[in-house]
Every structure is written in structure tokens, then in C-alpha cells.
Structure 1
């Protein structure tokens, strides 16, 4: 590009601080505008970046300085902001999920393609050294042919710590839509796209009580399933078992394990960029840590936006809209299967994302 990608950030909630730290240290990105429904939050975020200006959403989308919109709104607003940004000729990188529904997401994909702008979506955690080192171990044949995987996330629910947890329990939220994108994106990165799913789901309570902040003690409605489990049948033939739950206090289950006919891998938490990858090879009694061999080192949230900016013209970004649409379809299909009791075919196709060689930053010369 010859210059940094000028970014306009819409949404200054809790996750924005992590993006701001990454943008600050990546020369490929420059924050020029910030908007939020709360103008005070926008002004606070803008003060952390000397070139950034606090604007209204309409002003930000119309600002000719902005090359790409970083969409950090709540899930229900993801599609609306993305479509408005695309209409304004901006590329878009958004928090997960791509949209609240596959119907909305399909329109976002279509409009982005028609407008000739780039579309990316979190999670970009899978571009870090944890998942990428595990992927390289699989590709190098260290566990033989991958046969199965497990992915587990169990927590009591975000109302324990989040002062405004309402959106976690509205459509587009719940453990599957909140945390599922991390685990499913990692599974697709490791084992390839999903062809068919079998699902089951339950809702433990109709209301939850906020436990911290100024709204402590307030009850909020629960409108989504809070325990979702299922089997993902990958196109490769591998089977992944998924458990996403806001109905448990804790778990000792590993975030992800992958099992092959010559060994097993323990993969770090896909909500993190790094962490140890452990191998139990056939005939070995002990797990051993593998050296870091792939992925962006010292990565943080927002590295996917820099990777998108560095992706050669005509190639799909590693944390791209097509992958995010596939992951969203997997999640919707799991819930459809849970409601019907039947297997559901995942219709949104995608390719396994390109691997990330071991490197420091996603510069254009090396993407």
C-alpha cells in the first residue's frame, strides 16, 4: 500500500482496549477516527492515539481518511455497520460473529464483493503461534492422519464479571456465538471446513443476575441456549466434539485436543494467541512441549486487520469474511440440528485458511 491502513473504529466497549494496544504498536495500522453511541467513550479512546478524532458514526463512515472500518459494535449491529461501511466504500474488519444470522452475513459478503472492498472478521487469535504451531505439527505428520478432536469451553456466565452482559443472552450471543467462533475457527484451521453437524442444546435459566458494577443485582432475560454440544463432521472425515457452556463452574478439560493415528496434540486456548502445544506421540508415555514453529509472534487483537491489509489482491484474508461466514453457518446449523434432532448440512463453503509462517508482523512483503 505504501502507507499505513487508516482505521476508523466504531464501538468502544471492553474489547476495544485490546485493539487499541495492537494498533498502537503495528506500523501497518493508523487509527484516525473513533465513534461510539457514548461520545464520552469515543473521546477517551481517541485520546490514546494522537492522530485519532472522536466523531459520530455517520461522520466516521463518510470520512475520506478512513480506509477500513473496525467494527466493534454488539453482535446485533455487526451487519448494519458493516453494510453502511461497505456502501461508503470502506473495507471492514469486525468482531465475531460476522453477523447475527447467516441471512445477514450473506448480504454482507455479497455487498463487499460487489463493492470491491475487503472483508475480515475475528477471531484472529488463530493467527498466533499457538494454533499455527499446532497446525504445522499436523501438516508435518507428527500425529499421522487426524481422526478426531475435542473442543471445550465451560464457564458460569459473563454476568459474573461484565457490568453490562445483556447482549450475551440475546440472539447472536450465548456460549456458542460468543466463544464458539474461537474454537470452531481453530478447528477449521487445524482440520479444514465442516460438512455436517449434529447438535443438542439446553437453557438452564430464564433470567440471570448481574454480579458487578452499577447494575449489580439487576436481573436480565436469557433468550438463547446456554449449553450447546455437538459433533462436527469435517470434509476431511475427521470428527470434532464441541461443548460450549455457560452452565458450569469450571472444567479440567483441555480447550482443544486433536487425535491422529500416530499421536495426539494438546492445543492452547484459542481465545489466546500463544501458549504451549504439547505432543503425545505413539509409543511415548509423556507429553512433550513442541517448539514454536509458526504464527505471528507477540500478536494481539487486530493482527487480523493488519494481515488483511497485507494480503495480496485477489487472495482471501486468513481471517476473512468467507471463513467467518462458514463458522457462522456451522453454529446456526448446530442449533438447527439441536431443535430438529436431525443432522444438518453446512451449506456455506470455505477453504482451509493459508498457514502463517513464523514471523513478527504481517507486512505486505511477507503475507
Structure 2
């Protein structure tokens, strides 16, 4: 295995060993604290344009299987680990992590002191970096990274291009795809929903034409303010149709109602983040992956109320509209990877849709 280097924009250099693709690649370095679930992490579209560091020291030991994909095409720019297993052992294993990354032209680097890298990110925040060959100048790359602006089109890159239907005989849900994980589809189909998946820029007029019982705003990558089309659409449909937002969808719901979002220092990425429901006083373990959060102070006067908070840093984890059937959470109730403590939120969404239909029937016959 060839030696390669990971260069941070602050000039820090890590020397490691190449696996996966050998191409030179840059991206925003983030860290994930999950002990397992690397296949789901790599295939989560919310990591589009980022280079993911796994804090758990051994990765790849159970290989890659056909069941744990969260999207068909992975969008991460690089994978950084302490040690990569070259001989995976699991009854579901079909190929090695190295082989999978090569097939998708994603560079990986192992032998890195991931503890040191994580501590740098926690202290100074996420930063740009590049995986490069040893003969490339680290000083020149660091200087170039400081003046590099990464694209803001991550949602358009990860969203579906055309609408498609996942048939069911239950509630009719329009799922707006901002870079959706398959786990969301799995939870809705498990409840027999009839799902129409539409692109991120689908208009409110076209969504209303589909006569949905509810709208699902999915997860996705990047800054929510880079998706003004979605904010406009949500403003036009809220109050007419029940809405459930997850992750990026949660942030877009907040922006559409006049609240604000802010970028976190190093974000939340991992499988066991504690979240407290302030109404029931219950605490749930959640799966998270986000760089941005809703500003709690900005909720005042928007019609939105705070429902859940992160116990690690008190950031907003859940909101609900006080007048309209609309709610959202910052974490991933569909998990994958992570605990499924909050799967019940999909049932709450179904109940919200049923209550709204009953209300409309009462109004018709009144």
C-alpha cells in the first residue's frame, strides 16, 4: 500500500496509507463517533462533499453487504480511519471496504491518528483538507485550501431528478428528496404509505396537484439557506397539508416560518446522541449527522415551539408549529446506523395525517 498524506488547511499534515481510490481529493473534514455502521455512513447523501473520519479505531471488519446501503451512489469525498481491515469476516459480507471504495472512486487513508485529528476539529472546528500523494507540496496545498470555496449545489447533486412512486394502499405521502436516506422510505413503506418521491425544487402547485395526505421533508447535505426553492414551497403548503421534517427538512421548516439557522463548530455525527423531550421529560438516544442547527432564540414570534433539545450542547432538536399540523426533528428517527428509539415519530406523522383528514370531513359535512 502506498503512503499518502492528509493535509489540513491550517497546515497540519498526517501521513498514512492509501486504500480505496488513489485520486487526489479535497473536502470538508468531519468526524463520526459511531462504533459500527460505516457502510450506512459512507452511503448517506448528507455527507456529500465531506471527508469522514471514523473515531472508532478499526473499520471494515465486517465488510460490505447488500442490505445496509442508504443510497445507491455514495457522495462522500474521502474516508479516514485509524486501521482498515483487509480480511473482513461476517456471514453477510460480500466485498471489502477497500474494494467498494475503489469501485466508487473514493479515496481512503488509514494509519492516521484519528484521535488527534478529532481533537483538532473539536478545538478549531471543521476545516478543509486534501488527501494527496507524498510528492505533492503540503505547504502549497494548505495555502490553496484556505482560498478554496466548496460548491453549494450538494442538494441538487443528491436529489432525485424525476418524480417516482413507491406504491402503497395507506396514506398518500409526497416525499421531497433533498438527499434522502433509504431508511426514511423503509419506515414509510413499513406503514403501507403510498409515496411519491419528488425533486428538491418541485413546486408547491405541483405537490398540491398530487393531493397528498402529508409531506415528508427529508434529510440532505449542506446549508439549508442554499435551497431557497424549498423554503418558498414550504411557505405555500404549510397549513394545508401535514408536514414532517427530518434533519435538513427540519431546518427548512424553521426557515420557512421565519426562524434562523446557524453552522455548528463541528456538528453532530454519530449513533448515540442523547436528546430530551421537554414535554414528556423523556430522553432518547438518537442517530445524528448535521453541520447546521436551528437557532433557539430565532423561534420567538414564528409560531414554532421548541419540543426537544440536545443534552450535549442544548441545541434545538425538535420543533412543532402551534397552529398548523407540522413538526420536525434534527436527528434521524429512521436511524441506520444507530438506535431506533424515535421510530414512533413516523406513527405520530400518520396520526397527524389521519386527524387532518377527519377534520376536513367534519368541515365538509358541517
Same fold (TM over 0.5): no
TM-score bracket for the superposition, by shorter chain length: under 0.3
Give the structure with the larger strand fraction: 2
Give the structure with the larger helix fraction: 1
TM-score, length basis structure 2: 0.27
